[in-house]
Each structure stands twice: as structure tokens, then as C-alpha cells.
């Protein structure tokens, strides 16, 4: 009987560790830095996070009702590539299974350079002509306007760049 308890514990531990708990299992091939993906992107802009717009509601493990931001409204400060007539756009986040960054990743009042994809049709995961980002590559970078710096994986070698140098890459 003594041997059975450690064996059962080992089996349970093995089963627990072997369960893949992350729904988005992506492996990026090639250069998935911001600079590496922008050739496939129609729209690139500097934005300011204004508000969380839509929420997912759930009960936590103690039974308390919780809400989690599901979309973020951003104000377009400057467009570097593409066209957008709206001053504010909505970026839809992850519900735990969509391979998108969570909306709460984007801090209210903060600035980001984004290279989102446009949503083609209405669904429970976003509305037509809104946008979404993808967790499997770098399609957004944090911006500190006071320091004139951009932070994140801009290229394979560059993890932080001046906003001036970044903007120089978009001048023809």
C-alpha cells in the first residue's frame, strides 16, 4: 500500500504537467520581429489607448463575478502606412483561445506603434472593419513619448529604437 501512493502521485503529476494549457500554440517561422512582418501589413500607426470597450464576464474559482477587457479603443495619433479615416479604432483582444494579446496588455493612456490586421466580418470575436493583433509575431511596440523611444522586438537585433529613427524607416 505504501508504494501505491507515490506511484499515484507520480501519475497524477505527470498527467497534470503533460496537459497543454495554452490554447494558442504557435511557432513563428522566419523573422517575426516588427520590422520583419510590416511588409505583410496594410496599416501601421502610432496610437494612444483611450478605453477598454467590451468585456468578457466569468466567475473566478471562488465564485465571484469578474469581467475582463475584450477590446481596446485607441486614438490614432499618426499613420505611417495605409489609410484610415476614423480618428478612433477598436482593437479586439483574446478570450483565452484566439492567439491574440489580451486587451488588458495595453495600458490606458499609453502609446503604442501597431500593425494590426483588419477584421473581415462580424463575429463574437470582433466587428467588421475593427482590428486585431496576433500573438505569434511582434505587431505592436510600446512607445515612451517623453523619452522618444520605442520598446519591443523592432528587429532581430534591435529591442529599442528612437521614434525618430523608426519614423525615418517610413520616409520615402
pLDDT average per 10 residues of sequence, the chain (172 residues): 51 40 63 88 96 90 87 97 96 91 96 96 94 92 97 94 92 60
**Predicted local confidence at residue 5, as pLDDT:** 56
Rounded to the nearest angstrom, the gap between the alpha carbon of residue 76 and the centroid of all alpha carbons in its chain is 17
Pairing of strands 140-144, 131-132: unpaired
Rounded CA separation 100/29 (Å): 17
Closest by CA to 116, choosing from 57, 40, 65, 169, is 40
**Predicted local confidence at residue 66, as pLDDT:** 86
Question: Does any domain span residue 1?
Answer: no
**Predicted local confidence at residue 96, as pLDDT:** 84
Question: Does any domain span residue 161?
Answer: yes
Q: Is 158 exposed, middle or buried (0-12, 13-18, 19+ CB in 10 A)?
A: middle
* Owning domain of residue 84: 34-169
Rounded CA separation 53/96 (Å): 17
Report how many domains make up the chain: 1
- CATH, residue 101: 2.40.50
Question: Does any domain span residue 13?
Answer: no
Question: Does any domain span residue 18?
Answer: no
Question: Does any domain span residue 19?
Answer: no
Question: Does any domain span residue 8?
Answer: no
**Predicted local confidence at residue 16, as pLDDT:** 41
Closest by CA to 38, choosing from 118, 137, 132, 160, is 137
**Predicted local confidence at residue 13, as pLDDT:** 38
Rounded CA separation 22/24 (Å): 6
Q: What is the pTM of this model?
A: 0.81
Question: Does any domain span residue 69?
Answer: yes
**Predicted local confidence at residue 147, as pLDDT:** 97
Rounded CA separation 91/94 (Å): 10
**Predicted local confidence at residue 14, as pLDDT:** 42
Amino acid at each position: 500500500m505504501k508504494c501505491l501512493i507515490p506511484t499515484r502521485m507520480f501519475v497524477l503529476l505527470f498527467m497534470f504537467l503533460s496537459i497543454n494549457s495554452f490554447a494558442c500554440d504557435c511557432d513563428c517561422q522566419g523573422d517575426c520581429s516588427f520590422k520583419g512582418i510590416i511588409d505583410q501589413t496594410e496599416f501601421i500607426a502610432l496610437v494612444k489607448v483611450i478605453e477598454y470597450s467590451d468585456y468578457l464576464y466569468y466567475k473566478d474559482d471562488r465564485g465571484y463575478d469578474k469581467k475582463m477587457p475584450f477590446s481596446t479603443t485607441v486614438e490614432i495619433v499618426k499613420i505611417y502606412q495605409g489609410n484610415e479615416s476614423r480618428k478612433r479604432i477598436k482593437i479586439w483582444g483574446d478570450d483565452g483561445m484566439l492567439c491574440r494579446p489580451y486587451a488588458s496588455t495595453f495600458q490606458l493612456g499609453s502609446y503604442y506603434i501597431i500593425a494590426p490586421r483588419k477584421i473581415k466580418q462580424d463575429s463574437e470575436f470582433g466587428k467588421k472593419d475593427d482590428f486585431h493583433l496576433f500573438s505569434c509575431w511582434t505587431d505592436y511596440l510600446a512607445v515612451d513619448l517623453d523619452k522618444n523611444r520605442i520598446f519591443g522586438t523592432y528587429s532581430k537585433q534591435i529591442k529599442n529604437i528612437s521614434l525618430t529613427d523608426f519614423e525615418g524607416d517610413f520616409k520615402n
